[in-house]
Amino acid sequence: MVWADIELSCDEKVLKEMSVDIKKSYANSLLSLATGGYIFNGNPLAFGEGNVKGRIKNVLNYEKPRFWVVVLAAITALAIGIGLLANPSQSSYMPRLITGYMVIEDDLLYIDEVEIIYREDTERIVELEELGESITTPSGYHIYNPNTDKQTYKVTKETTYTFVDYNFLFLEDGVADRLYTTTNKEEFMLHLDESYSDSPPAQKVPFFIEVKDGKVISITEKIEFTI
- The helix (run of H) or strand (run of E) holding residue 213 is none
Structure confidence by residue, pLDDT tens digits, 79-111: 777 766 666 555 557 899 999 999 999 999 999
Q: Is the link from the previous residue into 206 a cis peptide, with omega within 30 of 0?
A: no
- Please tell me whether residues 144 and 216 are part of one structural domain: yes
Q: Comparing C-alpha atoms, which of 14, 24, 17, 21 is closest to residue 57?
A: 24
According to DSSP, the β-strands at 108-113 and 115-118 are unpaired
Please check whether residues 73 and 177 belong to one and the same domain: no
The mean pLDDT value for 217-226 works out to 92
Q: Is it the case that residue 225 has pLDDT exceeding 80?
A: yes
DSSP-derived secondary structure letter, 223: G
**pTM attached to this predicted model:** 0.59
Q: Are 66 and 110 members of one domain?
A: no
Domain count, the chain: 2
φ, ψ of residue 144 to 5 degrees: the values are: -95, 120
Which is it for the CA torsion 175, 178, 182, 186, positive or negative? positive
- C-beta separation of 104 from 189 below 8 A: yes
d(CA 159, CA 161): 7
pLDDT at 39: 45
Residue 39 and residue 104 share a domain: no
Model confidence pLDDT, tens digit, residues 7-61: 656 666 665 555 546 656 666 666 666 665 554 344 454 445 556 667 766 656 6
The whole domain housing 175 covers: 95-225
- The secondary structure element, H or E, covering residue 35 is helix 23-36
Is there a single domain that holds both residue 168 and residue 147?
A: yes
Contacts of 145 (CB under 8 A, 6+ apart): 101, 112, 114, 115
Tell whether 35 and 131 lie within a shared domain: no
176-193 residue pLDDT tens:
788 999 999 999 999 999
> Which of 86, 110, 136 corresponds to the end of one domain?
86
Q: Report d(CA 105, CA 218) in Å as an integer.
A: 16
* Of residues 227 and 152, more confidently modeled: 152
Exposure string (b/e) for 42-71, b if CB count within 10 Å is 16 or more? eeeebbeeebbeebbebbeebeeeeeeeee
How far does Cα 40 stand from its chain's mean position?
56
Q: Which of 53, 86, 119 is the last residue of a domain?
A: 86
